[in-house]
Amino acid sequence: MRYLVTGTAGFIGFHLAQRLLDEGHEVVGVDGFTSYYDVQLKERRNALLEPRNGFKGYRAMLEDMPSLEAIWEAEKPDIVIHLAAQAGVRYSLENPRAYVDANIVGTFNVMELTRRHPVKHFMLASTSSAYGANTQMPFQETDRTATPLTLYAATKAATEQMTHAYSHLWSIPTTAFRFFTVYGAWGRPDMALFKFTKGIIDGTPIDIYNHGDMERDFTYVGDLVEGIYRLSFCVPTREAALPTGAIDNLSPVAPYRIVNIGGGTPTNLGAFIDEIEKCVGREAIRNYMAMQPGDVARTFANADLLIQLTNYRPDTPLPVGVKAFVDWYRWYYDVTAETQTSNATPLASA
């Protein structure tokens, strides 16, 4: 099939495009190459996609409706997977307008094009941040999402509601998937694993919020991509207007559902850093700080619906995923044991 994926120069979009191409599908990539983080990293990802048979890339901003319209008309995708967004929880405190422009206006444009050019399945990337101040664990797709803690979370929750309305009005088969602290090779420099690895290698302090009293349901990027790929064949329909079970949130008025993609195994932040230290071979210089505005102490996915629909649960062990990232980081930045800074303290076992 022909998949149109927004955000193919991004972390998750790059990995998803690789997987789809490996499976023999065509991929139409759309990316704006924004400067939120190192554009060279995006160019390097894109350079690996461009030569591949079945890939065709476009450079366009989500807010640029005429450019997007031309792409949709030319390519006529079977499935649209909308990943592109302004990411980052803390950055939404600094530049909130970027989230309204990219996440609200951009998603509206993609929805409009999906209405004008019907597809077999429309898929929307959402986030565990949509659960906001919920304290009941694990997070279940049927939980209320009325208490967002950041504008980022609010915009992602809003896109879920927007796409539900479009699904109802125009019978667009839609799946929104919420992911949980994704990590892995080619990750974003603003993400914790990237910053921690860089700090440990450079021998500089790493900031640890809430004094380390935090847990995250870390999800390896390959597992997330597997979940997205399998869900692309689980198309909600009006005819199947009844949930498949008590945990299903299939809408009673639209071919629409929301699915968590997470392993359901929260890890303490300290244990996460321990794994990075083992892979790097050095101790971190830990700078403990207070909780940051908009942060939550814990995330924890209930993956039962994903398993029910796809017979799959994310299961890459944390040591395996962290090692894959650290190995990539060393390769990408040409870091060896000899070039690694001497400021950090080697582990006793290293």
Identified catalytic residue from 36, 99, 152, 183: 152
Q: What is the CA radius of gyration of the chain?
A: 20
d(CA 153, CA 149): 7
d(CA 176, CA 234): 12
SS3 300: coil
d(CA 114, CA 84): 15
End-to-end CA, the chain: 48
Q: Is 166 a catalytic residue?
A: no
Q: Is residue 77 within a helix (H) or strand (E), and if so which, with residue range?
A: none
Residues whose CB falls within 8 Å of the CB of residue 44, separated by 6 or more in sequence, listed in order: 332
Cβ proximity of 317 and 155 under 8 Å:
no
d(CA 301, CA 228): 15
d(CA 102, CA 64): 10
The first and second tokens of residue 21, run together, are 């191409």
Angle at 85 between CA 81 and CA 88, to 5 degrees: 130
Cβ proximity of 60 and 73 under 8 Å:
no
Cis omega before residue 205 (within 30°)?
no
Q: Is residue 268 within a helix (H) or strand (E), and if so which, with residue range?
A: strand 267-268
**Single-letter code of the amino acid located at 103:** N
Cβ proximity of 89 and 133 under 8 Å:
no
Cβ proximity of 8 and 81 under 8 Å:
no
Residues belonging to the active site: 152
